[in-house]
Structure formats: structure tokens, C-alpha cells
Amino acid sequence: RGPLRYFFCGCIATSLTWAVILMLYWNGDVQSGNTAVPQEGKSYGGRIRFQPRRPRVQVEEEEEGDRRLTFKSHQGAHTTKVDLPLSELGLIKSPEDQETRDMGYRRHAFNLLISDRIGFHRNIPDTRNDKCRGKSYPSSLPKASVVICFFNEAWSTLLRTVHSVLDRTPRDLLQEIILIDDFSDQSHLKEELEEYIRDHLPMVQLYRTDKREGLIRARVKGATHASGDVLMFLDSHCEVSKQWLEPLLARIAEDRTRVVCPIIDIINSDTFEYTASPLVRGGFNWGLHFKWDQVPQQLLQGPDGAASPINSPTMAGGLFAIDREYFDEMGRYDEGMDIWGGENLEISFRIWMCGGTLEIIPCSRVGHVFRKRRPYGSPNGEDTMSKNSLRLAHVWMDEYKEQYFSLRPEMKSRPYGDISDRLKLREKLNCHSFKWYLDNIYPELFVPAAGRQKEVRMANPWGVKQVGVGQLPPRPKVIKKGHIKHMDSGLCLISQNGPNEKGSLVVVSDCLSEDKNQVWYLTDQDELQLTGLLCLDVNENDPKSFPRIMKCHGTSGGQQWKFAEDSGRLYQPSAGMCLEFQSSGKGYVHMSICDDSPAQQWRYILL
């Protein structure tokens, strides 16, 4: 590829048009008709003007790690420019920054400061399998209506979702983008959003529910307004990737009973780093919690290996494409389900049991912000996941619902509303039994003898760590060993209660080279780790609390530390602050707004 690229670059001077056309073909980007997408990284005055896609060479240059880039950011109504390297986007420079960050964690459970500073357009790494890159798709594919419902979504995540769709979807494959505001009460989602859509987003329609409905009924509402051949559902904090839609539409074009999901890449909620998810598929446990499973090896044996479609017993829920009429015929969703939870297993069981297939398409990649907690509840405080699960158990699970009840005996007597329509639907569609589903689609699921279960509650089916069940990313590797020396006092950072005491505060003390309390191993994920697998940690939700040593989790967040060689500062990206120790005071080590004071000068002394 190298020499070819130079050859093409050489052509630009003499025949620019030809070079661009050739490169587009070479990259497999050309679809029939209009391939134009707006240029990435540009802000638009007035109506969007569509410009030809830039040649790939330029895009790639910007995709690499930590280069200094200029980001446009939208905070409230104005646009600001932030010139920071990617790893420092969270840097707190003022009390307003601090407020944005902290409010963001409270309201949205992610680092809003970083999200705002990224702005509406950015390049993300191409995480696809190599085999996907050269693939071409039929020139004529069905058109998609992208349906995104939201409740109190942040401005920058919502609009980055929409812009990423506009930036990375060939115009002839996109019918429209339908936004459904599920009765949000945050003010930026009112007139300001309408105005932005009117001025900048010609393909976008906004609808609002008149009361809080929950994501299930909100999506159905969106679907009824859609006119494309295919419905493409997304969460309101996603970023679609290069050529994300074509592989999904191509599968449906071949067979309209296929329901297809992209691989959901990880957008880290503390740093907004975009990373590849391992190849996993959807399962569930008898508590009716979704989980990720390892893909059985035999499914990866075809000629395309890990790039070919993978049958999946369930879907995660948020991101999938389905033929619009097929969605209707199949009974859309169970509209008796409220707010959040359970609908993903319900639609998965229904698809498989009633004649469809559910697949994960590895060549399609969409990033999603995985949060550590859900930042909203239901209006009456009800646990809607349990109620929704109960409905699906009664409609779809036959005698196997007893497995659920043996784990959740209290649910046996709970009301679940009227399910007669759903039972009729099952009848009408002439669906298989749940036993058939287990035997044929999910034989991997262990079925315990009744009454023999212990509940394993999954606090958070997402826990980014669980994304790779069975294929967990390897534990970060230790690359260096050393002391963390505070230059002003000449003292070293130690764990107050020893290297194995989870939750211990960190303080400074005389440097002693073989003291395990102060030998910090630096890993390739920027963790600072003591012998007992405990890591220097800041609580993202309360960065002003004292740093401690906590169990290493390997997913950055509050455990990522960056030594700035030149300034001597030890920077924590998700807190956006630096580690500080005041030699004069008797205080603990704490986090503070980064400055050039001696209190923030540290050095990693190799041992």
C-alpha cells in the first residue's frame, strides 16, 4: 500500500480529480449515486453543504493517538476552541471547567468536560478486522431511518451521535434521522435543540412524547414516524464508525428476517477514548440479565473468520437494524414495558422463536458510552427492569420462567399487567417453544435442576470489564518500576497502610528503595500499581476526595496517570487535575488544578 499511496499523491498535482476518484475506489468507499458526506472537523454556517469525502490519506494522519489537535467545543450556546492533546482534554483550567465536569458526572455519569471539548466531529480509530476493509457492498441497498430516543441526554453527546451519522453515512442510504425526546426536563433540549436542528440538521426530525414513556414506547413512537426501508436504532451517546451502515443493510437486503447488530465499541465514560470491543456475542443469565459471551470457536471457522456474521442468542438492546415492515409484523416491542430494561431479551427471544435470526456483524462498528451507573430513575421509582422481565418471562419462557422465579421468588406474586395481546401475537406468529430456543439457539446456557440456583446479581451488565467475558483484555503489562518522588520535599509517595490495604490513603515519607509501600509499578495502561494489585486511584465522582489505592481495574478512568516530563506534573485525565502535596502543610496528598507550583512537581525515579 505504501508505494501505491505515493503514486496517488504524486497524481494530485497534475490530475487532482482523477486521484481522488481513484482513491475512493481503492478504499472501497464508492457507492452508487451520491457518496458525499460533510467534511469532518468543520463547523457549518447555515445549511450543511455536502462536500466530497476527503482522500483517506489525510484522515489517517489524524487518527493516531495523542497528537495535538484543535477541537471545537460547544458549551451552552457558544462554540469555543480548545487546543489540547487528546490525553489532556479533561484539564481543568477554571472553576467553570470544574463545574461542567462535576455537573456532568452528576447528571450524565460521564466526563462532560471532555465530551464538550471534543465537539461534534472527531476521527475515531478504524477498529474493524482487516478483512472488512476491502469489502464492497451492493450498489443498491435499502434506505435506513435512524431512530434515536433520549431522556436528558447531554448536548455534546447527542449532537455528536447525530453528526457522526451524517458524517459517515452515504447520503443515498439515509432516509432520515428521527429523534424522540422522551419528556426530558433539561433546558438545552428545548428551543435550543429545535433551533440547532432547524439551522444545521436538514435530515433530522424531532418528536417529543407528552409524558415520560421510557425507551421502549419512545422507540415505537419513532418507528411509526419513520419512512425508510430499515429502522436503525441507536442510543443517544454513540459515534458511528467508517462504513458502519453498509454491512448491516446488505444482510437485511438479502433476507428481511435478519435482525443485525454492529459490534459495540467502547467509548470510555471518563476519558472518551474510543477502543475496540473484543468479538463477543449476547447471552443472558437466569436472573434475566444480559451478558456478553465468548463466541463459540466453530462460528469463526468460515473463510471470513472473525469478519463474518455471527448468530447471537440475544442483543444488547440499543443498537440494531431491522426491516421496518418486519418490525411491525413481528409486534414491534411490548408496549407494556416501562422506562428501561428487559426489552432487549424480549425482542431477542421473539426474533429467534418466531422465525427470524439475530446476528452481530463484525464489519459494522459503533461506539457507545458505557456508563458505570444509570444517571436517571423511573418517575415513580419503580424497578422497571424487574417488571419488564416478569412480562417477558410470562409471555415467552414457558416452564423455564421457573428458573427466574427460583432466583427471584418475590417476583412470583408480582403484578405484570395485561399480556393478552402479546400472547395472541405469539400465537399468531406461530412461534417455537422456549425449549426449542434453548436447544437450538443457546445450548451453551446451563439449565440447573429447579430450585438449585444461587442468585448471582449483576450490578451492571455493562461493566466495561465484562464486555470481554471469556476474552478479557489481558491485564495491563508492567513496564517500569520506581519511586514517585516529590521534588520539593524530597519525600516519596507511599501507601499509608501498606501495599495490600484496599482504600488506604497515600502520603509522603522518606524514600527507601526496597519499601513495598512505595515501589510503584507503571503499566502500559498508565496505572501506578503496588505489589498487591492495588492502584493509585481517584474517585471520578468526587475527585476532590483524597486519592487512595484501590483494586486495579485496567479500564483507565480514575486510575490513569500521566507523568509530564517537562513540567514534572502527575496528571490524572478523568479528574482533569494534578497530584499535589504541600510541603509546608501536614495535609495528605490531594488532587488540585494543575499549575507550575513546586507542590505539583514529581519525578518517577526508576529502580
**Which range, of 78-86, 129-137, 312-320, 595-603, touches ligand UD2 by CB under 6 A?**
312-320
**Which range, of 8-16, 42-50, 340-348, 426-434, touches ligand UD2 by CB under 6 A?**
340-348
Q: Which amino acid would we find at residue 312?
A: S
Question: Which parts of 140-179 interact with ligand UD2 (CB under 6 A)?
Answer: 149-151, 153
CA neighbor of 254 nearest in space, from 244, 246, 262: 246
| CA–CA distance, 118 with 272 (Å, rounded to integer) | 9
Q: How far is the CB of 384 from ligand UD2 (least distance, A)?
A: 9
Count CA atoms within 13 Å of residue 554 on its CB side: 14
Q: How far is the CB of 126 from ligand UD2 (least distance, A)?
A: 20
Considering the rule CB under 6 A, would residue 341 count as an interface residue with ligand UD2?
yes
- The phi and psi torsions of 81 (rounded to 5 degrees) equal -115, 130
* Residue whose C-alpha cell is 452508487: 32
Which position's Cβ is nearest ligand UD2? 317
CA neighbor of 321 nearest in space, from 367, 265, 276, 256: 256
Q: How far is the CB of 236 from ligand UD2 (least distance, A)?
A: 4
Question: Which parts of 178-207 interact with ligand UD2 (CB under 6 A)?
Answer: 182
Name which of Mn ion, ligand UD2, none residue 116 binds, using a CB cut-off of 5 to 8 Å depending on partner kind: none
Considering the rule CB under 6 A, would residue 345 count as an interface residue with ligand UD2?
no
- Structural element, H or E, at residue 494: strand 491-495
Q: CB-wise, 232 or 316, nearer to ligand UD2?
A: 316
* Residue whose C-alpha cell is 429502522: 231
Name which of ligand UD2, Mn ion, none residue 229 binds, using a CB cut-off of 5 to 8 Å depending on partner kind: none
CB atoms within 10 A of CB 186: 14
Q: CB-wise, 213 or 235, nearer to Mn ion?
A: 235
Q: How far is the CB of 370 from Mn ion (least distance, A)?
A: 7
Q: How far is the CB of 337 from ligand UD2 (least distance, A)?
A: 8
Contact (CB, 8 A) for 150 and 204:
no
Contact (CB, 8 A) for 57 and 189:
no
Q: How far is the CB of 261 from ligand UD2 (least distance, A)?
A: 9
CA neighbor of 226 nearest in space, from 106, 146, 138, 299: 146
Q: Which amino acid would we find at residue 388?
A: N
Count CA atoms within 13 Å of residue 163 on its CB side: 22
**Which range, of 272-280, 337-345, 408-416, 575-583, touches ligand UD2 by CB under 6 A?**
337-345
* Residue whose C-alpha cell is 438449585: 452
Give the long-range contacts of residues 58-65, CB within 8 A, separation 24 or more: 59/123, 62/123, 63/123, 63/124, 63/125, 63/126
* Cα 199 → chain centroid: 28
Q: CB-wise, 270 or 527, nearer to Mn ion?
A: 270
CA neighbor of 284 nearest in space, from 451, 437, 410, 450: 437
**Which range, of 75-83, 341-349, 416-424, 430-438, touches ligand UD2 by CB under 6 A?**
341-349
**Which range, of 112-120, 247-255, 317-325, 348-356, touches ligand UD2 by CB under 6 A?**
317-325
Q: How far is the CB of 159 from ligand UD2 (least distance, A)?
A: 13
Q: Applying CB under 6 A, what is the total number of residues that bind ligand UD2?
A: 23
Considering the rule CB under 6 A, would residue 248 count as an interface residue with ligand UD2?
no
Q: CB-wise, 71 or 150, nearer to ligand UD2?
A: 150
Q: CB-wise, 147 or 534, nearer to ligand UD2?
A: 147
Measure the CA dihedral 386/390/396/397, to 10°.
90
| CA–CA distance, 595 with 166 (Å, rounded to integer) | 40
Q: CB-wise, 160 or 590, nearer to ligand UD2?
A: 160
Interface residue with ligand UD2, options 124, 267, 319, 390 (CB under 6 A) = 319
- β-strands 258-268, 357-370 pairing: parallel
Q: CB-wise, 291 or 486, nearer to Mn ion?
A: 291
Considering the rule CB under 6 A, would residue 288 count as an interface residue with ligand UD2?
no
CA neighbor of 379 nearest in space, from 214, 232, 523: 214
Considering the rule CB under 6 A, would residue 344 count as an interface residue with ligand UD2?
yes
Question: Which parts of 372-401 interact with ligand UD2 (CB under 6 A)?
Answer: 374
Residue 357 bridge partners (DSSP) = 258
Q: Which residues in this chain contact Mn ion in the complex, by CB under 5 A?
A: 235
**Which range, of 339-347, 473-481, 494-502, 562-570, touches ligand UD2 by CB under 6 A?**
339-347
CA neighbor of 293 nearest in space, from 458, 467, 475, 474: 467
Q: CB-wise, 89 or 264, nearer to ligand UD2?
A: 264
Name which of Mn ion, ligand UD2, none residue 262 binds, using a CB cut-off of 5 to 8 Å depending on partner kind: none
Coil vs helix vs strand at 567: coil
Max Cα–Cα distance, the chain, nearest Å: 78
Name which of ligand UD2, Mn ion, none residue 274 binds, using a CB cut-off of 5 to 8 Å depending on partner kind: none
Residues lying near ligand UD2 in the complex (CB under 6 A) = 149-151, 153, 182, 212, 214-215, 218, 235-236, 264, 316-319, 339-341, 343-344, 368, 374
